[in-house]
Amino acid sequence: MGSAERQSGPLIDETDAALIRVLHSDGRAPWPKVASELGCSPSTARRRFEAMHSAGMLRLIGRTDVARLGLGVPAMVQFTGARAGEPEFLEAMRTRADVRFLAAVVGSVGSVAEFVVPDAAALQERIGRLSAEFDVAAEVFVVMHTYTSGQDWLPEAVERRVDARSRELPLAHPTPAERVVLEMLIRNGRTSLPELAAAIGKSENTARRTMDSLRERELLDFRVLIEPAVLGFNAEFWVWLEVEPSQLAEVGEELARNRGTKYLAATAGRNNLVGQIVLPEHPDMYGYVTGVLGQIEGVRRVEIMIQTRTYKRVWNMVVDGRYSAQASRMEFLE
Protein backbone atom coordinates (compact mmCIF):
# COMPACT_ATOMS: atom_id res chain seq x y z
CA MET A 1 0.00 0.00 0.00
CA GLY A 2 1.62 3.27 -1.09
CA SER A 3 1.38 6.44 0.97
CA ALA A 4 -1.24 7.88 -1.38
CA GLU A 5 -3.54 4.93 -0.66
CA ARG A 6 -3.45 5.17 3.11
CA GLN A 7 -6.73 5.36 4.92
CA SER A 8 -7.76 5.93 8.49
CA GLY A 9 -8.59 2.97 10.68
CA PRO A 10 -7.57 -0.69 10.45
CA LEU A 11 -7.62 -2.56 7.14
CA ILE A 12 -8.95 -5.78 8.70
CA ASP A 13 -12.16 -6.73 10.51
CA GLU A 14 -12.52 -7.68 14.18
CA THR A 15 -12.38 -11.42 13.52
CA ASP A 16 -9.03 -11.07 11.78
CA ALA A 17 -7.81 -8.78 14.57
CA ALA A 18 -8.84 -11.38 17.17
CA LEU A 19 -7.07 -14.09 15.18
CA ILE A 20 -3.88 -12.01 15.18
CA ARG A 21 -4.08 -11.51 18.94
CA VAL A 22 -4.47 -15.25 19.56
CA LEU A 23 -1.51 -16.15 17.34
CA HIS A 24 0.64 -13.37 18.77
CA SER A 25 0.37 -14.97 22.20
CA ASP A 26 0.54 -18.60 20.99
CA GLY A 27 1.98 -18.68 17.49
CA ARG A 28 2.06 -22.46 17.11
CA ALA A 29 -1.37 -23.15 18.60
CA PRO A 30 -3.24 -25.89 16.66
CA TRP A 31 -6.02 -24.54 14.46
CA PRO A 32 -8.77 -26.22 16.56
CA LYS A 33 -7.51 -24.36 19.63
CA VAL A 34 -7.33 -21.07 17.72
CA ALA A 35 -10.82 -21.63 16.37
CA SER A 36 -12.24 -22.34 19.83
CA GLU A 37 -10.98 -18.97 21.06
CA LEU A 38 -12.47 -17.21 18.04
CA GLY A 39 -15.77 -19.08 18.04
CA CYS A 40 -15.40 -20.30 14.46
CA SER A 41 -14.38 -23.48 12.65
CA PRO A 42 -10.69 -24.49 12.33
CA SER A 43 -10.96 -24.20 8.54
CA THR A 44 -12.24 -20.62 8.86
CA ALA A 45 -9.43 -19.64 11.23
CA ARG A 46 -6.80 -21.16 8.96
CA ARG A 47 -8.34 -19.67 5.80
CA ARG A 48 -8.38 -16.18 7.28
CA PHE A 49 -4.75 -16.47 8.39
CA GLU A 50 -3.64 -17.75 5.00
CA ALA A 51 -5.53 -14.97 3.23
CA MET A 52 -3.74 -12.28 5.26
CA HIS A 53 -0.43 -14.07 4.79
CA SER A 54 -0.90 -14.34 1.02
CA ALA A 55 -1.80 -10.65 0.85
CA GLY A 56 1.47 -9.82 2.62
CA MET A 57 -0.35 -8.27 5.58
CA LEU A 58 1.44 -10.37 8.19
CA ARG A 59 4.06 -12.97 8.91
CA LEU A 60 4.23 -15.36 11.84
CA ILE A 61 7.87 -15.31 12.88
CA GLY A 62 10.17 -16.87 15.40
CA ARG A 63 11.30 -14.10 17.73
CA THR A 64 14.90 -14.26 18.90
CA ASP A 65 17.54 -12.12 20.61
CA VAL A 66 20.60 -12.05 18.36
CA ALA A 67 22.80 -10.61 21.10
CA ARG A 68 22.01 -13.48 23.46
CA LEU A 69 22.81 -15.97 20.73
CA GLY A 70 26.34 -14.61 20.71
CA LEU A 71 26.22 -14.54 16.92
CA GLY A 72 25.55 -10.89 16.20
CA VAL A 73 25.86 -7.33 17.45
CA PRO A 74 22.86 -5.08 16.57
CA ALA A 75 23.42 -1.44 15.70
CA MET A 76 21.21 1.39 14.46
CA VAL A 77 22.73 3.48 11.68
CA GLN A 78 21.68 6.88 10.34
CA PHE A 79 22.65 7.61 6.73
CA THR A 80 22.98 11.17 5.42
CA GLY A 81 23.93 12.66 2.09
CA ALA A 82 22.28 13.23 -1.27
CA ARG A 83 22.06 9.50 -2.03
CA ALA A 84 20.96 8.28 1.41
CA GLY A 85 17.32 8.24 0.35
CA GLU A 86 17.78 7.24 -3.29
CA PRO A 87 16.25 3.97 -4.59
CA GLU A 88 19.60 2.57 -5.75
CA PHE A 89 21.14 2.88 -2.29
CA LEU A 90 18.04 1.63 -0.48
CA GLU A 91 17.68 -1.39 -2.78
CA ALA A 92 21.33 -2.31 -2.25
CA MET A 93 20.76 -2.04 1.50
CA ARG A 94 17.54 -4.05 1.45
CA THR A 95 19.20 -7.12 -0.05
CA ARG A 96 22.05 -7.21 2.47
CA ALA A 97 22.07 -10.22 4.80
CA ASP A 98 23.38 -8.06 7.67
CA VAL A 99 20.48 -5.57 7.51
CA ARG A 100 17.46 -6.50 9.62
CA PHE A 101 15.49 -3.24 9.27
CA LEU A 102 15.53 -0.43 6.70
CA ALA A 103 13.40 2.67 6.18
CA ALA A 104 13.50 6.03 4.44
CA VAL A 105 12.93 8.96 6.80
CA VAL A 106 12.34 12.70 6.73
CA GLY A 107 14.43 14.76 9.09
CA SER A 108 18.14 15.36 9.46
CA VAL A 109 18.98 12.05 7.72
CA GLY A 110 17.76 10.22 4.62
CA SER A 111 17.46 6.65 5.89
CA VAL A 112 17.75 4.50 9.00
CA ALA A 113 18.93 0.88 9.11
CA GLU A 114 19.49 -1.77 11.73
CA PHE A 115 22.54 -3.93 11.14
CA VAL A 116 23.34 -7.26 12.79
CA VAL A 117 27.08 -7.90 12.46
CA PRO A 118 29.63 -10.28 14.01
CA ASP A 119 31.39 -7.51 15.95
CA ALA A 120 32.05 -3.77 16.08
CA ALA A 121 35.14 -4.08 13.88
CA ALA A 122 33.10 -5.73 11.13
CA LEU A 123 30.50 -2.97 11.41
CA GLN A 124 33.14 -0.25 11.05
CA GLU A 125 34.64 -1.91 7.98
CA ARG A 126 31.28 -2.45 6.27
CA ILE A 127 29.98 1.04 6.96
CA GLY A 128 33.22 2.43 5.59
CA ARG A 129 32.80 0.50 2.32
CA LEU A 130 29.16 1.57 2.00
CA SER A 131 30.04 5.20 2.59
CA ALA A 132 32.73 5.10 -0.08
CA GLU A 133 30.62 3.23 -2.65
CA PHE A 134 27.51 5.38 -2.38
CA ASP A 135 28.97 8.67 -1.14
CA VAL A 136 26.89 8.69 2.05
CA ALA A 137 27.83 9.54 5.60
CA ALA A 138 26.84 7.29 8.50
CA GLU A 139 26.44 7.67 12.24
CA VAL A 140 26.45 4.41 14.19
CA PHE A 141 24.64 3.64 17.44
CA VAL A 142 25.59 0.22 18.79
CA VAL A 143 22.76 -1.33 20.82
CA MET A 144 23.73 -1.94 24.44
CA HIS A 145 20.34 -3.09 25.74
CA THR A 146 16.91 -3.60 24.18
CA TYR A 147 13.98 -2.59 26.39
CA THR A 148 11.29 -3.72 23.98
CA SER A 149 11.60 -5.25 20.53
CA GLY A 150 9.60 -4.42 17.43
CA GLN A 151 9.06 -8.18 17.15
CA ASP A 152 6.82 -7.99 20.25
CA TRP A 153 4.68 -5.04 19.16
CA LEU A 154 0.94 -5.51 18.88
CA PRO A 155 -1.38 -2.97 20.56
CA GLU A 156 -3.73 -4.31 23.22
CA ALA A 157 -2.82 -7.90 22.44
CA VAL A 158 -0.46 -9.15 25.11
CA GLU A 159 1.17 -7.50 28.08
CA ARG A 160 4.02 -5.38 26.76
CA ARG A 161 7.31 -7.17 27.21
CA VAL A 162 9.77 -4.81 28.90
CA ASP A 163 13.27 -6.00 29.67
CA ALA A 164 14.34 -4.39 32.94
CA ARG A 165 17.08 -6.89 33.83
CA SER A 166 19.78 -5.53 36.09
CA ARG A 167 22.24 -7.94 34.47
CA GLU A 168 22.50 -9.64 31.11
CA LEU A 169 21.54 -13.26 30.69
CA PRO A 170 24.44 -15.57 29.78
CA LEU A 171 25.31 -15.94 26.12
CA ALA A 172 23.91 -18.99 24.38
CA HIS A 173 25.89 -21.17 22.03
CA PRO A 174 23.41 -22.81 19.63
CA THR A 175 24.38 -26.11 18.08
CA PRO A 176 24.41 -26.53 14.28
CA ALA A 177 20.98 -28.20 14.48
CA GLU A 178 19.62 -25.35 16.60
CA ARG A 179 20.89 -22.80 14.09
CA VAL A 180 19.04 -24.58 11.28
CA VAL A 181 15.83 -24.71 13.33
CA LEU A 182 16.19 -21.06 14.31
CA GLU A 183 16.61 -19.90 10.72
CA MET A 184 13.55 -21.85 9.54
CA LEU A 185 11.35 -20.65 12.40
CA ILE A 186 12.46 -17.02 12.14
CA ARG A 187 11.21 -17.11 8.56
CA ASN A 188 8.04 -19.07 9.33
CA GLY A 189 7.04 -19.69 12.93
CA ARG A 190 4.58 -22.39 11.89
CA THR A 191 7.11 -24.51 9.99
CA SER A 192 5.98 -28.09 10.54
CA LEU A 193 7.87 -30.65 12.60
CA PRO A 194 8.40 -32.93 9.56
CA GLU A 195 10.06 -30.02 7.72
CA LEU A 196 12.27 -29.19 10.72
CA ALA A 197 13.19 -32.86 11.17
CA ALA A 198 14.12 -33.24 7.49
CA ALA A 199 16.29 -30.11 7.61
CA ILE A 200 18.38 -31.38 10.54
CA GLY A 201 18.30 -35.04 9.50
CA LYS A 202 16.71 -36.17 12.76
CA SER A 203 13.36 -37.50 13.98
CA GLU A 204 10.32 -35.31 14.60
CA ASN A 205 10.71 -35.93 18.34
CA THR A 206 14.26 -34.59 18.17
CA ALA A 207 13.08 -31.57 16.17
CA ARG A 208 10.42 -30.89 18.77
CA ARG A 209 12.94 -31.20 21.62
CA THR A 210 15.29 -28.84 19.81
CA MET A 211 12.55 -26.23 19.39
CA ASP A 212 11.33 -26.67 22.98
CA SER A 213 14.87 -26.28 24.32
CA LEU A 214 15.28 -22.99 22.45
CA ARG A 215 12.01 -21.74 23.92
CA GLU A 216 12.85 -22.85 27.47
CA ARG A 217 16.17 -21.01 27.29
CA GLU A 218 14.34 -17.86 26.11
CA LEU A 219 16.11 -17.95 22.75
CA LEU A 220 12.93 -18.37 20.74
CA ASP A 221 9.30 -17.36 20.91
CA PHE A 222 6.60 -16.79 18.31
CA ARG A 223 5.02 -13.50 17.32
CA VAL A 224 2.87 -12.02 14.58
CA LEU A 225 4.77 -9.45 12.53
CA ILE A 226 2.36 -6.96 10.99
CA GLU A 227 2.75 -3.57 9.37
CA PRO A 228 1.28 -0.86 11.65
CA ALA A 229 -0.88 0.62 8.88
CA VAL A 230 -2.82 -2.65 8.65
CA LEU A 231 -3.99 -2.03 12.22
CA GLY A 232 -4.75 1.65 11.59
CA PHE A 233 -1.44 3.16 12.74
CA ASN A 234 -0.34 5.50 9.94
CA ALA A 235 2.28 7.60 11.75
CA GLU A 236 5.60 5.86 12.25
CA PHE A 237 8.61 7.82 13.43
CA TRP A 238 11.94 7.55 15.22
CA VAL A 239 13.03 9.37 18.36
CA TRP A 240 16.70 9.77 19.18
CA LEU A 241 17.14 10.88 22.77
CA GLU A 242 20.00 12.12 24.90
CA VAL A 243 19.16 11.06 28.45
CA GLU A 244 20.95 11.66 31.73
CA PRO A 245 23.00 8.46 32.25
CA SER A 246 21.81 8.15 35.84
CA GLN A 247 18.20 8.08 34.65
CA LEU A 248 18.63 6.01 31.48
CA ALA A 249 17.18 2.78 32.92
CA GLU A 250 14.18 4.55 34.45
CA VAL A 251 13.41 6.54 31.29
CA GLY A 252 13.88 3.48 29.10
CA GLU A 253 11.48 1.35 31.12
CA GLU A 254 8.86 4.12 31.23
CA LEU A 255 8.97 4.72 27.47
CA ALA A 256 9.02 0.99 26.70
CA ARG A 257 5.65 0.58 28.46
CA ASN A 258 4.03 3.33 26.40
CA ARG A 259 1.44 1.96 23.95
CA GLY A 260 3.01 3.84 21.05
CA THR A 261 6.49 2.42 21.52
CA LYS A 262 7.29 -0.26 18.96
CA TYR A 263 11.02 -0.55 19.61
CA LEU A 264 13.32 0.97 22.23
CA ALA A 265 16.99 0.41 22.96
CA ALA A 266 19.84 1.96 24.91
CA THR A 267 22.72 2.75 22.56
CA ALA A 268 26.32 3.90 22.55
CA GLY A 269 26.87 7.16 20.71
CA ARG A 270 25.70 10.74 20.59
CA ASN A 271 22.19 9.58 21.56
CA ASN A 272 21.84 6.92 24.26
CA LEU A 273 18.17 6.00 23.75
CA VAL A 274 16.63 5.18 20.36
CA GLY A 275 12.97 4.39 19.79
CA GLN A 276 10.52 3.65 17.00
CA ILE A 277 7.04 5.03 17.72
CA VAL A 278 3.71 4.30 15.99
CA LEU A 279 0.54 6.39 16.37
CA PRO A 280 -2.81 6.47 14.54
CA GLU A 281 -2.18 9.68 12.58
CA HIS A 282 0.57 12.26 12.13
CA PRO A 283 -1.19 15.03 14.12
CA ASP A 284 -0.96 12.70 17.15
CA MET A 285 2.80 13.21 17.13
CA TYR A 286 2.46 16.65 18.74
CA GLY A 287 0.65 15.21 21.74
CA TYR A 288 3.26 12.47 22.04
CA VAL A 289 6.17 14.91 21.98
CA THR A 290 4.62 17.33 24.46
CA GLY A 291 2.61 14.96 26.63
CA VAL A 292 4.98 11.98 26.75
CA LEU A 293 8.55 12.98 25.93
CA GLY A 294 8.12 16.48 27.32
CA GLN A 295 6.97 15.16 30.69
CA ILE A 296 9.83 12.72 31.32
CA GLU A 297 12.52 13.98 33.64
CA GLY A 298 16.05 13.30 32.50
CA VAL A 299 15.59 13.80 28.75
CA ARG A 300 18.13 16.40 27.64
CA ARG A 301 17.53 16.48 23.91
CA VAL A 302 15.08 15.00 21.39
CA GLU A 303 15.48 14.47 17.64
CA ILE A 304 12.56 13.19 15.55
CA MET A 305 12.61 11.55 12.12
CA ILE A 306 9.37 10.66 10.34
CA GLN A 307 9.44 7.27 8.62
CA THR A 308 8.13 7.65 5.08
CA ARG A 309 8.65 4.19 3.63
CA THR A 310 9.61 0.81 5.07
CA TYR A 311 11.88 -1.40 2.97
CA LYS A 312 12.67 -4.22 5.39
CA ARG A 313 11.43 -5.36 8.79
CA VAL A 314 12.87 -8.28 10.80
CA TRP A 315 14.56 -9.52 7.59
CA ASN A 316 11.25 -9.49 5.69
CA MET A 317 11.27 -7.48 2.48
CA VAL A 318 8.52 -4.83 2.43
CA VAL A 319 7.09 -3.56 -0.88
CA ASP A 320 4.40 -0.86 -0.82
CA GLY A 321 3.45 -1.68 2.75
CA ARG A 322 3.21 -5.45 2.23
CA TYR A 323 5.62 -8.27 3.00
CA SER A 324 7.18 -9.69 -0.13
CA ALA A 325 7.44 -13.39 -0.87
CA GLN A 326 11.13 -12.77 -1.58
CA ALA A 327 13.22 -14.25 1.22
CA SER A 328 16.10 -12.41 2.83
CA ARG A 329 19.33 -14.04 3.94
CA MET A 330 20.33 -13.74 7.61
CA GLU A 331 24.08 -13.53 7.96
CA PHE A 332 24.17 -14.24 11.67
CA LEU A 333 22.85 -17.78 11.10
CA GLU A 334 24.91 -18.62 8.02
Do 9-55 and 67-164+227-323 come out as alike in CATH topology?
no
The predicted pLDDT at position 155 comes to 83
pLDDT in tens, the chain (334 residues): 344 445 566 889 999 999 999 999 999 999 999 999 999 999 999 999 999 999 999 999 999 988 888 878 999 999 999 999 999 999 999 999 999 999 999 999 999 999 999 999 999 999 999 999 999 999 999 999 999 999 999 986 545 667 655 456 677 889 999 999 999 999 999 999 999 999 999 999 999 999 999 999 889 999 999 999 999 999 999 999 999 999 999 999 999 999 899 999 999 999 999 999 999 999 999 999 999 999 999 999 999 999 999 999 999 999 999 999 988 899 988 7
DSSP-based helix, strand, coil % in the chain, nearest 5: 40, 30, 35
The predicted pLDDT at position 4 comes to 40
9 Cβ neighbours under 8 A, 6+ residues apart: 232
Phi, psi of 226 (to 5 degrees): -145, 140
Domain boundaries, the chain: 9-55, 67-164+227-323
CATH number of this structure's domain 67-164+227-323: 3.30.70.3460
pTM, 2 dp: 0.92
Which CATH number is correct for 9-55, 1.10.10.10, 2.102.10.10, 3.30.365.10, 3.40.470.10? 1.10.10.10
The predicted pLDDT at position 160 comes to 60
Residue type, 214: L
The predicted pLDDT at position 172 comes to 82
Q: Are 272 and 266 contacting, i.e. CB atoms less than 8 angstroms apart?
A: yes
d(CA 228, CA 178): 31
